[in-house]
Amino acid sequence: MNRIDKFLAKLTRELRLKILAVAEQILHGNFTGLNLKKLSGAEDQYRVRVGRIRIKFTMNKAGINIYYIGHRDDTTY
């Protein structure tokens, strides 16, 4: 079980479904209605905010890759 799966397993069912729906929307390249921000210092890294939870991903010619889902804290960015 990877880090993202462990984090999602700890969430309530309702919140987990909401996060997974947003992640699916990101993977399809549909960013309308999302709180999207390009991360500074990185050419192809972005984050989407869902409440206190952040979904960080890379977007380049190879596609979209979600590499982090977790709570916002001092070490998130």
pLDDT per residue as tens digits for the range 25-63: 999 999 999 999 999 988 899 999 999 999 999 999 999
Burial of 48 (C-beta count, 10 Å sphere; 0-12/13-18/19+)? buried
Q: Which residues pair with 58 in a beta bridge?
A: 45, 65
Question: 76 pLDDT band (50/70/90 cuts)?
Answer: low
Residue 30's pLDDT is 94
DSSP string, the chain: --HHHHHHHHS-HHHHHHHHHHHHHHHTT--TTSEEEEPTT-SSEEEEEETTEEEEEEEETTEEEEEEEEE--TT--
Identify the pLDDT of residue 42.
Answer: 83
Q: Would you say residue 73 has pLDDT above 80?
A: no
Amino acid occupying residue 29: G
pLDDT band at residue 1, thresholds of 50, 70 and 90?
Answer: confident
